[in-house]
């Protein structure tokens, strides 16, 4: 009995790819084409040429095999079924459901627009506002008690929670001025989506967008001029030694001290641009008064000894959360980011790329850095194009050159330990029948090459 699959001639893969590229040249790609799971696991879907079905936009279409692709056959499939079939080892069930719904409906934020499941609430008291910040989402002021100053009577925090968990995690929040219907920056920003429990950065951004849309539906307008909060009062909470509680204010707002309150404005007497939760108010300085203190350790320092240190970074704002530190704190508790030419607090994640230069991890990843799963070394994609292994790991080309190989039969990339004991260019998982066929084809090609050489001579 003959093996029909073995009897079929191998598919010309160059012709296959040319045919599929021509057939899908004007097709619409899946909505998740720029999501990390799709970009980082190209090997899984390289021969699928998945795209939106021309007959039914709610479905995808893809090639099930090179033979079908060469004949121009694209099979329709539901997005969720496709992701489950090929990406179940990469995505969770929750992530698959999110991406499938996004592809089918074209909307990535519909889940959080449901007011019954995710009610919008307002916190206006100091204690209530502190509670919201403690429960999320991530920002430089998360868990800081200084946000209590928003409870002076003018401002409030609008936020979303799960309906059955009203006292639990805060999914999204924004500073608002209810009487003037002003809406400030909305969080989450997308930078910490894993820690916040979202399935992707896109889902995180969709949640913040949902809060904004619901506020706008109630008559709020965004603070596009960065003057909408001018005149808003903040409580004046004395912490002693000339310091007062003060959060970092977005959009470069400053404050004026009226004696009873601090008042927000674009032109104030005092800056509110540090993330240590304190504001230094200088009153009737005597000659011996200390005018400069390190924002980290609180020690006195000369003005000439101050060092500008950043405590946060995200892709939207770049470095932010400026603080003035003394030379000792800068020397022992910071790192320099070569890509941003800025000094960051060591509480931020730093990495060493190419074995030499230090970088803020968030900036580096946003600019193409990746960690080799084999050596744990960081590299930039542009300088060191990554190699995707058969198991989905990412290796640097240097690591692959030393410890990896490409299977001559499957075309997959493997660690050298996975090579067949007798054939070092073939992985050990390949069947004996496939190995025999490979050896036969190799011998046949060698004969053809020899005959061609003899004819040439």
Task: Give the angle subtended at the CA of 63 by the CAs of 101 and 104, to the nearest 5°.
Answer: 10
Residue 172 in 3-state DSSP?
strand
Would you state the pLDDT for residue 3?
47
Question: Which one, of 279, 265, 338, 346, lies nearest residue 309 by Cα?
Answer: 346
Name the one residue in this structure whose structure tokens are 């989402």.
137
**Residues whose CB is less than 8 angstroms from the CB of residue 53 and which lie 6 or more positions away in sequence, other chains included:** 59, 60, 61, 74, 76
Helix (H) or strand (E) holding 439: helix 432-456
Beta carbons within 10 angstroms of residue 168's beta carbon: 11
Contact between 415 and 435 under an 8 Å Cβ cutoff? The reply is no
Question: How far is Cα 74 from Cα 79, in angstroms, rounded to an integer?
Answer: 14
Residues of the chain with pLDDT under 70: 1-8, 107-110, 164-166, 224-226, 282-291, 355-356, 442-457
The SS3 assignment for 14 reads helix
Q: Assign 246 to helix, strand or coil.
A: coil
Give the SS3 label for residue 253.
coil
User: Bridge partners of 446?
Assistant: none
Best CA proximity match to 360, nearest among 374, 349, 375, 371:
349
Any idea which residue has 């995690």 for tokens? Answer: 169
Query: What pLDDT was estimated at residue 437?
Result: 80
Nearest-angstrom CA–CA distance, 161 and 372 = 38
Round to whole Å and give the CA distance between 86 and 37.
Answer: 12
Per-residue confidence (pLDDT) for residue 343, from 0 to 100: 93
* Dihedral angle of Cα 126, 127, 130, 135, to the nearest 10 degrees: -150
Question: What are the phi and psi torsion angles at 453 (to 5°)?
Answer: -65, -45
- The 3-class secondary structure across 179-223, one letter per residue, is CCCEEEEEECCCCCCCCCCCCCHHHHHHHHHHHHHHHHHCCCEEC
How far, rounded to the nearest angstrom, does the alpha carbon of residue 183 sit from its chain's CA centroid? 25
Q: How many helices (H) and strands (E) does the chain have?
A: 13, 27
* pLDDT, position 273: 78
In angstroms, the CA 107 to CA 426 distance is: 45
pLDDT of residue 183: 92
Measured CA to CA in angstroms, residue 1 lies from 4, 7, 87, 111, 441 at distances of 9, 11, 36, 56, 21
Q: So what's the pLDDT on residue 73? A: 92
d(CA 314, CA 361): 10
């Amino acid at each position: 009995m003959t093996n029909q699959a073995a009897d079929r001639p191998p598919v010309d893969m160059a012709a296959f790819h040319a045919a599929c590229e021509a057939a899908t040249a004007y097709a619409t790609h899946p909505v998740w084409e720029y999501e990390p799971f799709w970009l980082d696991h190209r090997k899984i879907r390289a021969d699928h040429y998945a795209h939106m079905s021309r007959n039914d936009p709610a479905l995808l279409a893809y090639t099930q095999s090179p033979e079908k692709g060469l004949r121009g056959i694209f099979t329709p499939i539901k997005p969720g079924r496709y992701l489950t079939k090929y990406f179940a080892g990469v995505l969770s069930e929750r992530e698959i459901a999110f991406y499938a719904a996004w592809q089918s409906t074209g909307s990535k934020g519909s889940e959080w627009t449901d007011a019954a499941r995710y009610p919008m609430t307002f916190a206006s008291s100091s204690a209530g506002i502190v509670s919201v910040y403690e429960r999320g989402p991530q920002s430089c002021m998360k868990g800081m008690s200084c946000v209590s100053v928003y409870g002076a009577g003018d401002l409030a925090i609008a936020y979303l929670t799960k309906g059955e968990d009203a006292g639990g995690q805060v999914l999204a929040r924004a500073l608002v001025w209810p009487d003037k219907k002003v809406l400030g920056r909305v969080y989450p920003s997308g930078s910490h989506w894993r820690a916040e429990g979202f399935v992707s950065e896109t889902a995180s951004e969709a949640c913040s967008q949902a809060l904004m849309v619901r506020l706008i539906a109630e008559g709020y307008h965004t603070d596009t001029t960065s003057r909408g909060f001018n005149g808003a009062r903040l409580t004046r909470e004395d912490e002693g030694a000339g310091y007062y509680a003060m959060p970092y204010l977005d959009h470069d707002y400053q404050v004026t001290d009226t004696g009873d309150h601090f008042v927000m404005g674009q032109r104030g007497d005092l800056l509110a641009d540090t993330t240590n939760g304190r504001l230094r108010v200088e009153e009737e300085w005597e000659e011996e008064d200390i005018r400069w203190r390190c924002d980290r350790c609180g020690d006195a320092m000369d003005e000439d000894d101050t060092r500008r240190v950043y405590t946060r970074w995200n892709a939207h704002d770049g470095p932010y959360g400026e603080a003035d530190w003394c030379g000792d704190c800068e020397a022992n508790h910071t790192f320099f980011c070569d890509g941003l030419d800025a000094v960051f607090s060591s509480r931020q994640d730093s990495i060493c790329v190419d074995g030499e230069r230090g970088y803020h991890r968030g900036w580096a990843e946003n600019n193409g850095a990746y960690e080799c799963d084999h050596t744990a070394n960081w590299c930039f994609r542009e300088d060191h194009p990554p190699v995707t292994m058969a198991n989905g790991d990412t290796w640097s080309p240097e690591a692959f050159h030393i410890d990896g190989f490409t299977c001559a039969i499957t075309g997959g990339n493997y660690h050298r330990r996975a090579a067949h004991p007798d054939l070092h260019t073939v992985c050990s998982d390949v069947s004996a029948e496939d190995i025999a066929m490979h050896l036969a084809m190799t011998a046949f090609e060698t004969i053809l090459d020899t005959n061609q050489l003899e004819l040439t001579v």
